[in-house]
Amino acid sequence: MKSLLGKVGVVLAGLAIFGFGGPIVNIANAQSTLALQERCTEGAKKYLESHPPIGIIGHVSHHNKTFNKCFMRVDCYYSETGWQLVQLVDAFESKLIGSRLQMKDGTLMGCYVETERCASRNEFEALIKLYMGE
């Protein structure tokens, strides 16, 4: 029995070396990614509970593999003033990373991500891709 198990182990090792073990690794990575995203979603919910935004339109959370952090985009609209606010937050550390505030007439009141200033909605969207992608 030991010799049969040894042979099976050698065959499996050979398959992995020559690239035939890909689907097994991909399934494990998918499960790991799913677990991290679920943890991120929970972190985002907790952040919103402890920092309730006014006029929220929506939010999306994302576990970024490169940073190994949970980032969240929160979109708000204040109907009385017509202001639009978009925030980028590290959900686990409750840290504001970036923000874009725009008035009803399109005037940009403030826009930044980390230490980078932005002069438009498009610039802001380009800057947050680093955090909300990958």
Which of the two residues, 134 and 41, has the higher pLDDT score? 41
Count of CB atoms situated within 10 Å of the CB of 89: 25
Q: What is the pLDDT of residue 32?
A: 59
Q: What is the pLDDT of residue 12?
A: 31
- For 105-109, what is the mean pLDDT? 92
- In 3D, which of 86, 71, 90 has the Cα closest to residue 123? 86
The residue behind tokens 């020559």 is 18
Given a cut of 80, whether residue 3 has pLDDT beyond it is no
In tens, the pLDDT along 29-81 reads 445 577 877 888 888 888 888 877 678 788 898 889 899 899 999 999 988 88
- In 3D, which of 87, 91, 26, 86 has the Cα closest to residue 63? 91
Whole-model pTM: value is 0.69
Which of the two residues, 111 and 94, has the higher pLDDT score? 111
In sequence order, the β-bridge partners of residue 62 are 71
Which of the two residues, 37 and 96, has the higher pLDDT score? 96
- For 80-96, what is the mean pLDDT? 90
- In 3D, which of 10, 12, 33 has the Cα closest to residue 21? 12
Structure tokens at 42: 């929970």
Non-local CB neighbours of 126 within 8 Å, separated by 6+ positions: none
The phi, psi pair for 33, rounded to 5°, reads -65, -45
- For 115-127, what is the mean pLDDT? 96
User: Which of 8-12, 14-18, 72-76, 111-115 ranks highest by mean pLDDT?
Assistant: 111-115
Given a cut of 60, whether residue 2 has pLDDT beyond it is no
